[in-house]
Chain A
Amino acid sequence: MARKQKNEHGVIGSLFKINLNNSGHQSKSFLHVFFGLYFCMDIFEKLRVLSGSARYDASCASSGSTRQGLAGSLGNASIGGICHSWSDDGRCVSLLKVLFSNECCYDCAYCVNRRSSDTERASFTVEELVELTLRFYRRNYIEGLFLSSAVLISPDYTMERMNAVLHRLRRQERFAGYIHMKVIPGSSAGLVAQAGFLADRLSVNIELPSGESLRRLAPQKERESIIRPMAQLGETIGSSLIERRKYPSAPRFSPAGHSTQMIIGASPESDLQILRLSEALYRKMSLRRVYYSAFVPVSADNRLPVLNTPPLQREHRLYQADWLLRNYGFSASELLGEEAPFLDEHLDPKAAWAIRHPEFFPVDVNKAEYSVLLRVPGIGVRSARRILAARRFSSMTPEGLKRIGVVMKRARYFITCSGRYPERFSDRPSIIRKQLIAAGDSPVSAPALSGQLTLPGL
């Protein structure tokens, strides 16, 4: 198979050579053409293998950083992020998401690139990856680079290579687009610090939600080797922000913050445990985002659960709950309790909370403050803000609410408009529950949520 593809690229390669010779406007030596040909043949294989093994990383955000293009530089960064395409699985493609190498010396059970897997192996050279990024960026295919890697030889060896790519891009090619880089767990603090001044966002993947599961499934990764760089990032990002307030010209350190990812469904942790961990990460490590990645069975290892399909619905509910933690003022213990530690598959977590708390409703949309409006199902961040702005001019009616984008088929059971009920609040939660489920969840399925949203401050 591999050989056949090589031949195809050989044809493209020879075309390339002929065109180069015919066009004649570049006087290249034979050696140059030869190397061009070699580059052309090999790079397709590498890109195929190394994008294929990077695809299980959920994050593709290009938001959180803003940078104007300067004379002689290439690119800029836009605060809300920009999606450039959507792949066949519905996830957004914003960055050139690749591994530097998938030749791994670790053997993590859940990972497609583990040492014992018989997958094809490849590594980029620094030049190849830099050239690829620039060529794609100039054609507006991408917003920048997402660089991760398997542990090639040792964590520090790998990080040095990755840093070299970033350094070439930023300092030599004056690339001002977005760069997200994964920190290799166990790499030294000095290399992490170096990367922070080159990338827009750094992140360390937790992968598994507990130390216990990590020991069982990823024996070479220690909990400490993940937490330490994460704490370092949290602290340095914070102190860099303070410093930049004093001296605006001080260098930025990972200006778009840091994030992490957890695999859902490869280990036995409950949603409550996962959300508590996320909450702690947001509070103590000041993370921007936690990504959840439904486990895609990639090996028949007997330490892993047997799944027919990835748990997409569970991933979807976790993202919704995560949104409630970050933007809606909910806490993990409000959403779930020890007696019911998993999210309802059929109902979104905010509606589920509302049904459990009839004493909180109905909410008067003409009087309630922002934080109260946010707790009403069918009212989101945007419509809550719009209600605050609009009710300064006139009092809100059900028709007015609809006009500004409130989802009335969900909100109607929980609100009044200055005493007028669009729907009398029933004291029988089971009926409301049925009607909310019938009213339907948003038809967009899980992968959509891992894409980009342009809420401010993410």
Chain B
Amino acid sequence: MLTYCYDGSTEGLFSAISHILRHEPDPGAAVLRKQGYSLFEEGIFIQADSKRADEMIRRFSSAYPRNARDVLFCVYAEQDGIETSLLHYIHLVARHGSGISGHLTHPAVSDIRHLSGKVAREVHRFKGLMRFSMLEDGSYLARMEPDFNIIHPLSLFFSNRLQAQNWFICDVHRSLVSRWDGKSLDFGTIESFIVPELSAQEREVQALWRTFFRHVSIPERRNERCQKSFMPIKYWKYLVEKQ
């Protein structure tokens, strides 16, 4: 069993996968780890190579768009220890075609599909739970603290849905921000964050939303357990109706 390692970056990951698929006779038996992941076992280090990584991602996405989505979502998960499964999954797809994603009893396929499913669920959840508030200058700001790094797919979603207004989405823990100015989408990082002044209209609309939320539930059917199972408390921090 051969062990490889990479520098921990996304580029490094795909450079390593590309290298192993090219040079390793049996990629299905290879192990890939982040450098320094294990104290005792260091493997062959593969240098990050952005050209090679780009090439690999481009070719894989155009040949197997649906499987590429699974891979991409696993990258959003930023989870250590998934690299070997990713390597094996990409190897299996390249060898047997996209249908292999149905081979759910295979450990690598099952790992990847399971993780990408978790990320996809969080993306879907945030499409509903994101809350924008109107700032003094008329633009909108949404703050969130998701488990996974999903600012990219969410920003794309809102750039279609709320295209007539200027907005920012901010991932508070990762200090990431995206900006839509009505025409184009930009991504960036933030150094420090000062909660800006809300517009006058904002307080009124928030109070209206809370009024609606309170009265739309049927008191005779009260069921907070059910509410929390769909909308876990960890998401309540930025929910207007839960403040």
Residues of chain A having any CB pair with chain B under 8 Å: 12, 15-16, 19-20, 23, 40, 43-44, 47-48, 51-52, 54-56, 68-69, 71-76, 78, 80, 82-94, 96-98, 132, 135-136, 138-141, 143, 294, 296, 309-310, 312, 386, 389-390, 392-394, 396-397, 400, 403-404, 444-445, 447-448, 451, 454
Contacts and interface: CB of A to CB of B under 8 A. Distances in A.
A319 to B, nearest CB: 14
Contacts of B106: 393
A135 B205 contact: yes
17 contacts: A15-B200, A51-B216, A54-B216, A74-B162, A83-B230, A85-B129, A86-B227, A88-B223, A89-B221, A89-B226, A89-B227, A96-B212, A136-B212, A140-B132, A312-B221, A390-B102, A400-B104
Interface in B102-130: 102-106, 110, 124, 127-130
A387 to B, nearest CB: 9
Contacts of A309: 220
B231 A85 contact: yes
Given A82-B124, A138-B132, A55 B217 contact: yes
Interface stretch (B36-44, B70-78, B134-142): B134-142
Given A12-B204, A43-B208, A138-B165, A89 B222 contact: yes
B178 to A, nearest CB: 14
Nearest to A9: B207
Contact of A84 (B128, B140, B211): B128
Residue among A82, A140, A393, A444 with the most chain B CB within 10 A? Answer: A140
A148 B221 CA distance: 21
A417 to B, nearest CB: 12
Contacts of A136: 205, 208-209, 212
Contacts of B110: 403-404
B216 to A, nearest CB: 5
Contact of B217 (A16, A89, A389): A89
Contacts of B152: none
A161 to B, nearest CB: 20
A90 B215 contact: no
A172 to B, nearest CB: 14
B7 interface: no
A11 B128 CA distance: 31
Contacts of A135: 201, 205, 208
Contacts of B161: 69, 75-76, 140
A16 B209 contact: no
Nearest to B240: A141
A136 B163 CA distance: 15
A55 B212 CA distance: 10
Interface string B88-102: 000000000001101
Contacts of A76: 160-161
A263 B100 CA distance: 47
B172 to A, nearest CB: 17
A15 to B, nearest CB: 7
B215 A447 contact: no
